[in-house]
Amino acid sequence: MMRDPRYDVLFEPVRIGPLTAKNRFYQVPHCNGMGRTYPSSMAEMRGIKAEGGWAVVCTEEVEIHHSAEYSPGIEGRLWDDSDIPIFARMTDKIHRFDSLAGIELGYAGTAASNRYSREIPMAPTHRPIDGYDPVQARTMDRADIKAVRQWHIDAARRARTAGFDLIYVYVGHALSIQMHFLSRQRNTRTDEYGGSLENRVRLFREILEETKEAVGDTCAVAVRFAVDEMRGPDGITSDAEGRDIIEMLAEEPDLWDVNVSDWHNDSITSRFAQQGYQENYISFVKSLTSKPVVGVGRYTSPDAMVSLVKRGVMDFIGAARPSIADPFLPKKIEEGRLDDIRECIGCNICVSGDYLATPIRCTQNPTMGEEWRRGWHPERIQPRGSDGRVLIVGAGPAGLECALALGNRGYAVTLAEATKELGGRVVQESRLPGLAEWSRVRDFRQGQIARMNNVEVFLDSRMDAAGAIEFGADHIVVATGSTWRKDGIGRENATPIDGWDQPHCFTADDVMSGRPLTGPIILFDDDHYYIGGVLAEKLRADGHEVVLVTPAADVSHWTHNTMEQGRIQTRLLEMGVDILALHNLVAIRNSEAEFACVYTDRKQVRQCGSLVLVTARDPRDALYHDLQDAPEALKEAGIKSVKRIGDCLAPGTIAASTYSGHRYARELDEPLQSGVPFRRELPQLADEKQVP
């Protein structure tokens, strides 16, 4: 297939300083939890982006000096020459596909507390570091400023040696010293680096000029700049200093990569913002510079991309998450395969990898982060290992992904689903406030499977053990999901909560299926991811009085890792949801619910019409156990294996389910591996005789 000529504009080459990018698809810098700790994993992942057609592929933030480091966070590291080979491997992989490699050099200032190096962080004016580490940064004197400038020059030269084409000066996300100098609140200096905007821009300008001088003859020098800190007039705003700064430096860099700050605002989840949410902030930039501009906004629609270029909003379509969910997005547009695009759902599970200092993962793309260590390619999978037929029971994210990947391997697959719809939990959850895009998990797979002759789907087909055995497949995969517990057992309560079995007690499933509830409602959330918070939001929007009670210090606590917690709690408070934190639900007596403070055990009682318990889930694994209990019948029917995947194996995230389904498909008919099932890269041991 050929691409639609409407999209030709996206495939025009664009000059960036001394370089030419082959098209307008630009993978902006993004963290990946692999970086310096899992270097081959990082390099392979970036190489696959290049293979997928991104004309520019960038690193994550790269530390330029040991006095500004994010340990145990895993970012890039270019402290000295010994770090060069890691990046050389990455650039080599990118260059194989004629893409340009970019590196985001950053000096963290107060954004990092130097837990590993134990150096004292530096700031324009002494301040506590960001976050709660008991560390304060010291005020930089002139020699410190000079030193940081030199470190940036050194890092830029090393980056060039490592093969990078595009070298960033990073002034974004409140994660770099240049940005700290810009801030009137962080910078109260009275010398030539503080006070007037001209003075606060000085360090940014100097580093930009010096980077150009050092490497600008052969490399392009890009700036990543946050035009708006989203903090109102106290911060940089796109209609005041953000604009002024672009005006002041308009022609200085070879490229402007512009966004909003901090990262919470830049990478908002789909629950809180739609595709294109940054346009209003950044659209002025192109009118002030002749240099190419790149912006982001979780763009997955080629029509939206074309419109951005045609309307003169940006020259490059920047993407982090859309390139994670589908590294081959450009190729698919180029080849006219729009239905094959795996669209990002905006859940920020990818971000959680970075937050938890572990390799990146993605709800939509189960191969993300597994490219090197498991050899999983997002678009290629090995052919089937036998003519075996596979029956998959349950068409949630796990069953759907399993069917798709097995279908791609060429197996004859039957997918049997009890309900009238595909999608499992995402059918219900995507109807909750803000979660509509989650249906993309189903839509993509449903669309793909519909075109496969070797995958047949039966809806309205509840399977029991006899039916599954009778079906006559070689392999049975049980992907029947999970149900929310009724009895309140969860993290805080190891035994059922006293009084849980009364008629006014409900589960998350009851609420999602529309069971009518009488207010006022108490929702007890001992799950701590998004469901408790989003159900409270829904019930409040339905007009109920709602109290959300949680044993944690704040609502939906785990969503700190998806950068949503602040927004969730703000929204609930603004809607009038009452929040009782740090309390456990200990007993339910008719209309009274008794709570205990998790510290003092001091009790309090609240009245309610209904209680919603969001605690833990039970795997829906009766079918699996029934099959296990019938070994003779399985043998007689010639069934070679019965396995459970996804929530049926152990309830988890949707990302865990797509991964589980994909893994099953990759491993079917493959020799069983003993030991660690993926490749590891071990640190190089130092010479024992080395004198410290």
Please state, in angstroms and as integers, the Cα–Cα distance from residue 351 to each residue in 214, 359, 381, following that order.
33, 10, 26
Cα angle at 16 between 10 and 19, to 5 degrees? 105
Annotated catalytic residue within 266, 340, 525, 527: 266
Please say whether the dihedral angle defined by the alpha carbons of residues 111, 555, 226 and 170, taken in this order, is positive or negative: positive
187 or 653: whose CB is closer to ligand ADP? 653
Alpha-carbon distance of 561 to 61, in angstroms, equals 18
- Judged by CB under 6 A, the residue of 259, 364, 550, 658 near ligand SF4 is 364
> Residue 546: phi, psi to the nearest 5?
-130, 135
Tell me if residue 266 is catalytic. yes
Alpha-carbon distance of 364 to 2, in angstroms, equals 25
Q: What is the 3-state secondary structure (H, E, C) of 94-105?
A: HHCCCCEEEEEE
> Which stretches does DSSP call E strand in 448-552?
455-458, 475-478, 482-484, 505-507, 521-525, 546-550
658 binds ligand SF4 (CB under 6 A): no
Alpha-carbon distance of 263 to 563, in angstroms, equals 8
Which of ligand SF4, ligand ADP, none does residue 237 bind (CB under 5 to 8 Å by kind)? none
Annotated catalytic residue within 30, 65, 173, 557: 173
400 binds ligand SF4 (CB under 6 A): no
- Judged by CB under 6 A, the residue of 293, 350, 390, 639 near ligand SF4 is 350
For ligand SF4, the binding residues in 436-475 under the rule CB under 6 A are none
Q: Which residues contact residue 421 at a Cβ distance below 8 angstroms, ignoring those fewer than 6 apart?
A: 427, 459
Asked if 170 contacts 224 with a C-beta cutoff of 8 angstroms, the reply is: yes
Annotated catalytic residue within 26, 70, 168, 170: 170
Tell me if residue 542 is catalytic. no
For ligand ADP, the binding residues in 410-429 under the rule CB under 6 A are 416-419, 424-425
> Considering CB under 6 A, how many residues would be counted as binding ligand SF4?
13
Stretch that binds ligand ADP, among 37-45, 256-264, 349-357, 390-398 (CB under 6 A): 390-398
For ligand SF4, the binding residues in 406-435 under the rule CB under 6 A are none
For ligand SF4, the binding residues in 26-85 under the rule CB under 6 A are none
Alpha-carbon distance of 356 to 354, in angstroms, equals 5
- Among 524, 525, 505, 532, residue whose Cα is nearest residue 591: 505
For ligand SF4, the binding residues in 306-345 under the rule CB under 6 A are 321, 324-325, 344-345
The 10 Å Cβ neighbour count of residue 187 is 21
362 binds ligand SF4 (CB under 6 A): yes
The single residue listed with the structure tokens 């340009």 is: 100
> Considering CB under 6 A, how many residues would be counted as binding ligand ADP?
25
Asked if 67 contacts 144 with a C-beta cutoff of 8 angstroms, the reply is: no
Which of ligand SF4, ligand ADP, none does residue 350 bind (CB under 5 to 8 Å by kind)? ligand SF4
Smallest separation (angstroms) from ligand ADP to the CB of 449: 14
Tell me if residue 31 is catalytic. yes
Smallest separation (angstroms) from ligand SF4 to the CB of 483: 24
Alpha-carbon distance of 55 to 133, in angstroms, equals 39
Going by DSSP bridges, is the β-strand pair 603-607/592-597 parallel, antiparallel, or unpaired? antiparallel
User: What is the identity of the amino acid at 305?
Assistant: M
What character string, x for contact with ligand ADP (CB under 6 A) and - otherwise, covers 614-643?
A: ------x--x--------------------
For ligand ADP, the binding residues in 456-495 under the rule CB under 6 A are 462-463, 479-482
Which of ligand SF4, ligand ADP, none does residue 349 bind (CB under 5 to 8 Å by kind)? ligand SF4
345 or 549: whose CB is closer to ligand SF4? 345
Which of ligand SF4, ligand ADP, none does residue 416 bind (CB under 5 to 8 Å by kind)? ligand ADP
Dihedral through CA 143, CA 149, CA 150, CA 156, nearest 10? 170
Which of ligand SF4, ligand ADP, none does residue 394 bind (CB under 5 to 8 Å by kind)? ligand ADP
Tell me if residue 504 is catalytic. no
646 binds ligand ADP (CB under 6 A): yes
Largest CA distance in the chain: 86
- Return the SS3 of 460: coil
349 binds ligand SF4 (CB under 6 A): yes
Alpha-carbon distance of 218 to 433, in angstroms, equals 50
Which of ligand ADP, ligand SF4, none does residue 648 bind (CB under 5 to 8 Å by kind)? ligand ADP
Which of ligand SF4, ligand ADP, none does residue 325 bind (CB under 5 to 8 Å by kind)? ligand SF4
Both structure tokens of 255: 């490229």
Smallest separation (angstroms) from ligand ADP to the CB of 150: 52
The 10 Å Cβ neighbour count of residue 339 is 12
What character string, x for contact with ligand ADP (CB under 6 A) and - otherwise, covers 339-378?
A: ----------------------------------------
Alpha-carbon distance of 227 to 260, in angstroms, equals 6
346 or 646: whose CB is closer to ligand SF4? 346
614: which strand partners? 525
Smallest separation (angstroms) from ligand SF4 to the CB of 566: 17
Alpha-carbon distance of 55 to 33, in angstroms, equals 23
Which of ligand SF4, ligand ADP, none does residue 408 bind (CB under 5 to 8 Å by kind)? none
> Residue 137: phi, psi to the nearest 5?
-90, 150
- Name the DSSP letter for residue 120: P
Using CB under 6 A, list all residues that contact ligand ADP: 393-399, 416-419, 424-425, 462-463, 479-482, 620, 623, 646-648, 657
Active site residues: 31, 170, 173, 266
Give the footprint of ligand SF4 on this chain (CB under 6 A).
321, 324-325, 344-350, 362-364
